[in-house]
Structure 1
Amino acid sequence: MATKSLASWAVNLQPSSLPTSVKQAALRSLYNYIGCAIGGSDHPTVTKAYNALSPFFGKETSSLLGHKGSKKADAQHAALLNGIASHVHDYDDTHLATIIHPTGPVASALLAYGEYKGGFSGEDILCALTAGIEASCKIGLAVWPEHYDIGWHITSSTGSVGAAVAVGKLMHLSEEQMAQAIGVAAVQVVGLREMFGSDTKSFHPGRAAQSGLLAALLAEQGYTSSEKALEAKRGWANVVAGGGTPKLDQFVGELGKKWEIEANAFKPFPCGIVCHPAIDGCIQLHQEIQRKGLKFDDIKDVQAVVHPLVIELTSKRTPKDGLEGKFSVFHGGAVGLLYGKAGPAQYGDTVVTDSSVIAVRDKIDAQPDKNLKADETYLTINFEDGSKLEKRIDHAVGSLEVPMTDEQLTAKFVDQAGLVLGEADAKSASDAAWRVGESKNVAEVMRTL
């Protein structure tokens, strides 16, 4: 009875029962989310969605992150728009075992409802966030990898359930109501991998946040679904498992014993995570080229040996804009080599179409090797005079073996938020976001962000 077990665990989870390491992981996940949502708030994808939907806003109760002047929407639309903004740069967190980006759907729903209702402490928010992330990742593990392989975007197809659990936790739903919320969320499956590289990819976590919030609101009013929504023969897991055998009992049974939020990693580069090893290596090679006084114009070719998923997911040879550039290991490698960094600015439309970037991009070749780990790569630069440079990356920065530090997360936050708010306000927002866990009323913090 996975649905009831998940509901019971979430309802009974208490902040006092969370290990210190889990609380810290939750704070880091929320902090990273806020930076990503602010950083993406002025992206054309978000602007198009705002312009299309703002005539239909209800009572404006919930803040849109990153918008000066306290721009707000109703909770449903705030969840959607903040969810889009948090994912549009592909800079959000990643549960590496499933490549779910769990915080976007969960936090977007949670903060929108929390500000609307008011009175929730940072401790309340972090506990509910943990419950939602655990729910998303556990059901994701139960259907991985077949679910993803057939084309579902697993971030959003699990995110509606995670968002419903988180908001339901904040609402103090009963176990029966929580089970119904999970059921209502489970039918709102959203997200196709075909949409990667388009506006619609970031719509996925936004819609999942909105759907999860809706599910919890309906369940609070006694709306019914199925008490076996996840595990039934024609329930969520069996329908979306892609021919695999779901392992719901196994992973739901681990709730509270093995914390998936502690395996949540953070991206140093705003693009598909599978090409991060190649970018990390190219940045290190950029530094070596500079130290040795070599010339980038003398590069003959760059050979990359990568995990097969890099080719499957990020092999766009000629991206036409920044969104497509996020799924091009060739673009990521090119900016890493040329600029020694690969932040949001290096994924702007004008950089993707810059002739100097294209010239380097066209010299990069990538070949798959199934024996490599997902965060491993081998790079070789061949120069026109016959000399070469080599770089091996065993674990990319941002992996669990080489995690981003709090200082690196802060630099990432200020870098991306500064492009929207200016550096001074970005630093103030960063300070506020780190203190969310200490807040007596998170609604007040949201208004400053």
Structure 2
Amino acid sequence: MATKHLAHWATSLTPSSIPASVQLAALRSLYNYVGCAIGGSNHGTVAKAYDALSPFFGPATSTLYGRGGEHEGSKVDAQHAALLNGIASHVHDYDDTHLATIIHPTGPVASAVLAYAEYHATTTSSPVSGEETLCALTAGIEASCKIGLAVWPQHYDIGWHITSSTGSVGAAVAVGKLLKLTEDQMAHAIGIASVQVVGLREMFGSDTKSFHPGRAAQSGLLAALLAQKGYTSSPQALEAKRGWANVVAGGGTPQLDKYVGELGSKWEIEANAFKPYPCGIVCHPVIDGCIQLHHEMVAKSLKVEDVQSIEARVHPLVIELTSKRTPRDGLEGKFSVFHGGAVGLLYGKAGPAQYADNVVADLAVISLRDQIEATPDEQLAADETYLTVHFADGSKLEKHVQHAVGSLEVPMSDAQLTEKFVDQAALVLGKDGAQRASDAAWKIGQAEDIVKVLQAL
């Protein structure tokens, strides 16, 4: 009975029962999320959603990160805050990744948890602590990743965007923790969330991709609130013959009992990785290698203008997911291994600025992009690549990336996460504001009142 087991585990989880290493992983995941939500807050995709929905906003209780305390519309109702912050957190494709499933788990869960926590504190004068917030976040991320593992890879292969199709359940579990739902209520919340399946891979490269985690956050919050008031669902919502897992598994055999049975003994949040580049994670080995080659070219006084061709041997998923040869804008550029490799080799970096629309349309980038050929190699790991750059004089440079930066083998350090946070948040808040937000976000776990931290964001 996977639904009941998940509900029991989630309602029983306490901060003291979470190992220190897991608490640290939760803090790092939340910190990274905050930076991504601020960094994406002024993106056109978020602006369009805000403008479309603003006539329907309710009482302003929950912060939209990056808009500033004095900014008009810096707070909205919790449901729309969950949606809009979820969109902002994912729009640059810079958020965390559970590498075993390619789920970006924190966006849906944190967007719902923080929106509700602020609503709760505002309407009840009863603060939610950072410790409670991280406990709820951990429960939600574990729920998302465990049910994701149960249907991986068939679920993803047939076209579901697994971040959002599991995210509504994770968000419901997390908000349910803050609501202090009973075990039965939590089971109903899981069921209500499970019917709100959202996200198709067909939408990658469009505004709707980032809508997925935002909508999952909103759906999970809704599910927990309904369950609190006695709204019912099937008590076997996940595992029933016509329940979530069997319906979305794509003809595969779900392994819910195996993975849900691991809750509390194997923590998926510790396998959560962070992106050094704001694009599809399968591109990262090529970008990493091209950045290294850029620095070698500089050291050897080799010019990009003399590059004749670039060969890349890559994992087959790179071709399947990021083979857009001629991206039309920054969103499509995130799904172009050719663009990622080109900016890495040309600029020696691949941050949000290198995925701006004008850079995607830059003639020098296009010229270099056209010289890259990517060949799938099933013998390679997902975070591995072999690169060869050929020059007009017949010389060449080679690079083997065994594990890309941001993988579990080469994880980003706290210092690198901080640099990433400040770099993207500075585009919205300015350098000083970004640094203040970073300092505040690192202290979330120690906060007695989470609202005081959120107001600094």
Query: Does 1:169 pair with 2:172?
Result: no
Match of 2:119 in 1: 116
1:123-134 matches, within 5 Å, as 123-134=131-142
8 Å contact 2:436–2:456 — kept in the other structure? no
Corresponding residue number in structure 1 for 2:260: 252
Match for residue 278 of structure 1?
Answer: 286
Amino acid at match of 1:416: Q
2:353 and 2:411 map into 1 onto residues whose CA distance is 23
Question: Could you say which residue in structure 2 is the equivalent of 1:37?
Answer: 37
Give the counterpart of 2:148 among 123, 140, 144: 140
| 2:210 paired with 1:202 | yes
Letter in 1 for 2:28: R
Give distance in 1, aligned partners of 2:374 and 2:164.
Answer: 29
Q: What's the counterpart of residue 152 of structure 1?
A: 160
| Partner SS for 1:228 | coil
Match of 2:310 in 1: 302
Q: What is aligned with 2:124?
A: none
**Which whole-Å CA distance do the structure 1 matches of 2:257 and 2:370 have between them?**
48
Indicate the SS of the match to 2:39.
Answer: helix
What does 1:42-53 correspond to in 2, within 5 Å?
Answer: 42-53=42-53
Structure 1 distance, partners of 2:243, 2:452, is 40
Displacement of 1:435: 0.3
Matched, 1:59 2:56: no
- Match in the other structure for 1:99: 102
Instruction: Kindly provide the amino acid, as one letter, of the partner of residue 112 in structure 1.
Output: A
Q: Give the Cα–Cα distance (whole angstroms) in 1 for the partners of residues 17 and 186 of structure 2.
A: 20
**1:80-115, CA deviations, whole angstroms, 9 ceiling, x for partnerless residues?**
000000000000000000000000000000000000
Matched, 1:427 2:435: yes
Deviation digits for residues 118-174 of structure 1 (CA, Å, limit 9, x no counterpart): 111000000000000000000000000000000000000000000000000011000
* Structure 1 residue 444: Cα displacement: 1.4
Could you tell me how far apart the structure 2 residues matched to 1:74 and 1:446 are?
A: 15
Q: Any unmatched runs of 5+ in structure 2?
A: 122-126
Cα offset for 1:54?
0.7
2:390 corresponds, among 376, 382, 388, to 382
TM-score normalized by the length of structure 1: 1.00
Structure 2 counterpart of 1:262, which letter?
A: E
Q: Distance in 2 between matches of 1:326 and 1:295?
A: 25
Matched residues, number = 449
CA contact (8 A) 2:286 2:312 kept: yes
3-state SS of the aligned residue for 1:268?
Answer: coil
Q: Given the alignment of the two structures, is residue 290 of structure 1 paired with residue 298 of structure 2, yes or no? A: yes
2:86 is matched with 83
CA distance in structure 2 between the aligned counterparts of 1:73 and 1:263, rounded to whole angstroms: 33
The whole-number CA distance in structure 1 between the counterparts of 2:101 and 2:252 is 15
Distance in 2, matches of 1:65 and 1:422, equals 14
Report sequence identity in percent: 77
User: Partner amino acid for 2:366?
Assistant: I
Matched, 1:23 2:31: no
Q: Secondary structure at the match of 2:325?
A: coil
Cα displacement string for residues 357-388 of structure 1 (whole angstroms, at most 9, x for unaligned residues): 10110111100001100000000000001000
CA contact (8 A) 2:167 2:220 kept: yes
Whether the 8 Å contact between 2:130 and 2:446 is mirrored in structure 1 is yes
Matches within 5 A, 1:293-332: 293-332=301-340
Give every structure 1 segment of 4 or more consecutive aligned residues whose post-TM-superposition deviation is greater than 3 Å. Answer: none
Following superposition, the deviation at residue 443 of structure 1 comes to: 1.2
Task: For 2:352 and 2:428, locate their aligned partners in 1 and report how far apart those are by CA, in whole Å.
Answer: 11
Tell me by how many angstroms 1:447 deviates.
Answer: 1.3
The one-letter code matched in structure 2 to 1:419 is: L
Matched position secondary structure for 1:302: strand
- Distance in 2 of aligned mates of 1:149 and 1:169: 32
- Aligned residue identity for 2:5: S
Contact 2:437 2:456 in 1 (8 A): yes
1:324: Cα distance to partner?
Answer: 0.1
**Amino acid of the residue matched to residue 114 of structure 2?**
L
Distance 1:345 1:319 in 2: 16
Shift of 1:345: 0.3
1:445 correspondence with 2:448: no
Equivalences for residues 226-265 of structure 1 within 5 A = 226-265=234-273
Q: Distance in 2 between matches of 1:206 and 1:275?
A: 24
TM-score by length of 2: 0.98
The whole-number CA distance in structure 1 between the counterparts of 2:40 and 2:283 is 21
